Chains A and B, each alone.
Chain A
């Protein structure tokens, strides 16, 4: 009985909302066509794929590409670098923009606040090629940073920042911070604006100071935003691209600058091993999905809410 009735309601629902359903069809198709159909290409990872041949003519290779991947020392090195740099930038890329948004929100002069915000997010539009040029120049032996350090007598000899392999992650993270802090804070600022001002008024009445209000009202107010952003970017941990590392890196620091995407390019596409490249792509996706699900699970347990 119940089942029949349920079916009837969903049928009725379908009828009532048929226009809505129809409107969603193109998007469902779009997602299917561009996000699901290409997954077929994963078959390449299990073949010795050679371009220009029909699917049936390809030679099957089983899991050999994965075996080779997990046996390569270099793979672990690039994985370490990738995760290391993404975790660092996750850390800095959250705390700093949130702090910046909180502080900016407390500013009084509206014009001043706006101009600071604009100035802060402008570097986001500068391409990495230029940023890398600026950073290398500033950190070079005759660059401004070294001149400053010498002037303040903090060092007797210019430091070759770009030639210190252990500093490379730091250099990347700092340049990333310079470039993206303002931009990343926009969404938090928007969330802060959405907080009911009455809460602030009430707290002020109760004698809460600025920092108390920031801690007890603003921060909890934007917590859902922070969480959504965090979980989504955890899904991105393994795919950080390679442009900044590629542009800022040099042979001396290569053990700390090479990342997964560059590895795919050098050992996959460049030597014509499409299958190997695809195998890494699959590994990458599986890790990303796992990270996403795990972090969402933790979040769900902690807050009884789910982001995805």
Chain B
């Protein structure tokens, strides 16, 4: 068949073995000593601004990345002498990290993005404990009591990376929920929106009344199963609707602190049964399990999908397309649960959870400069620069307060290239930063976001709908953060199962079973649902789900101890 292949050597079948071997063999020279540590540090500060290029592994391509050419980027180089050279990944991150680990050659800075365990296992990171102690006053101030949460494990209490995501962040907008078009609730007179039954009724009533939207058939609820996205739009909602906080594939019993693979909970069976019922009565998009992300996004942007069960970041971009002409087809977010006794835990706090972050590799040319750079980024000066921009250009100081002039604010909101052009925000995530709402020594917040800016950003329709529900923000519809205890384990999805362990293989097997069986049980005839569910549980047990739960619980306990001692 493949004519074009015939010229290649007949050994291509070995491609994998060959590639791995070629990289594997060269990793012999292990454990190069960390470059002459304190020699360049601590001395004259003039050295600190010597131009230096730091290479950085960045698995998530940032579309706003500007090669440090923007005013903010240039300012950073001016202050630190550092020029970053990013290495973005195209394709599978885990594969890239694995190959990087096998070769033993790393850039200066590494953002692990969930693959830290591979890198730690391969000894890729430098222990930052002493470096932070010596050169990191700003980092120490930033992480404060959470510094101990940066330690890797009980057996290996090294600090391998400085955590991403804002520290002490205050959340004003929900991340997940069940979404319903504003048009639906407006037409139905803002019905009670608490349970799956309420949600279903609203979709059904509206769809029966309006079988088409703009000439195309109306779609009730569309969910997405493209590759890993099934977790976001199909299985996470089962966890949330049954009152679990976002712990990824896990539900942690708050009393016993034991983790279970969340799909196995009887409450979630109810959720899947409901989806099965939705499919049976024709309210579920027929293509839910076949569509790819772009098809889904296109449907959402066409305004004919009444309801979603998704995370804001996944549907947000498609929704923007509706903002201009059809704001009534945008979505409100509702904390829908199985019954009224369950609290939707979107706002439950995880404390500061440092599963990911930027580390310095053992092959870094000058670790001291690298840690100083990271420390500088955590300083008040850098935080203001990153969030507000350059004084006199992007913001002004009026009466000692930072103020963004209206015309600048307008650009900030509406110019899609604003952040790329100015460099504002580009050096925030995944670098160390203060959370939204945290105040600096002058009593102002590090970020310009505030409750007011969020409300200003709502469309008129959105404000009407919120008023209809007697709320000012979407957050008001959700159970408040204060109603939940802080999770002592942070975010369970950030706990990595060690590579090359039985549990890691079981996790992969379970993932395959979930991917296969969950669609099957939702699409099955309702009378077959119980049967498929039983098969699902039996398959998981056969794959060793309990063994994996035990292994994970052990990791979880260890983390709880490590973080709270």
Contacts and interface: CB of A to CB of B under 8 A. Distances in A.
Contacts of A277: 16, 20
A174 to B, nearest CB: 13
B514 to A, nearest CB: 9
Interface string B295-330: 100000000000000000000000000000000000
A192 interface: no
A255 B225 CA distance: 16
A184 interface: yes
B290 interface: yes
Interface string B1-26: 11111100111111111111110110
Given A44-B21, A51-B98, A284-B14, 4 more contacts: A54-B28, A89-B1, A250-B289, A269-B95
Contacts of B154: none
Q: Is the interface of A mostly helix, strand, loop or mixed?
A: helix
Given A38-B14, A38-B18, A254-B516, A160 B24 contact: no
Contacts of A266: 508, 512
A297 interface: no
Contacts of B121: 50-52, 272
Interface string B465-478: 00000000000000
Interface in A102-136: 124, 133, 136
Contacts of B5: 232-233, 236
23 contacts: A38-B18, A38-B19, A39-B17, A40-B21, A41-B17, A42-B17, A44-B21, A50-B122, A51-B104, A53-B27, A74-B509, A140-B291, A180-B3, A184-B3, A229-B6, A250-B290, A251-B225, A252-B290, A270-B94, A271-B507, A272-B499, A274-B20, A278-B16
Interface string A262-274: 0011111111111
Contacts of B24: 41, 44, 49, 51, 274
A40 B28 CA distance: 14
Nearest to B518: A251
Q: Which 4 A-B pairs have the closest CB atoms?
A: A41-B21, A93-B1, A272-B499, A281-B17
A272 B98 contact: yes
B18 A41 contact: yes
Interface string B22-39: 101101101000000000
Nearest to A233: B1
A280 interface: yes
Interface in A76-90: 86, 89-90
Contacts, number: 202
A48 B508 contact: no
B287 A183 contact: no
Nearest to B5: A236
Contacts of A136: 290-292, 295
A52 B17 contact: no
Interface string A228-261: 1100110110110000000000111011000000
A95 to B, nearest CB: 11
A54 B24 CA distance: 9
B185 interface: no
A278 B20 CA distance: 8
B508 A270 contact: yes
Given A233-B5, A251-B519, A274-B24, A281 B16 contact: yes
Contacts of A51: 24, 27, 98, 101-102, 104, 121-122
B523 interface: yes
A31 interface: yes
A55 to B, nearest CB: 7
B52 interface: no
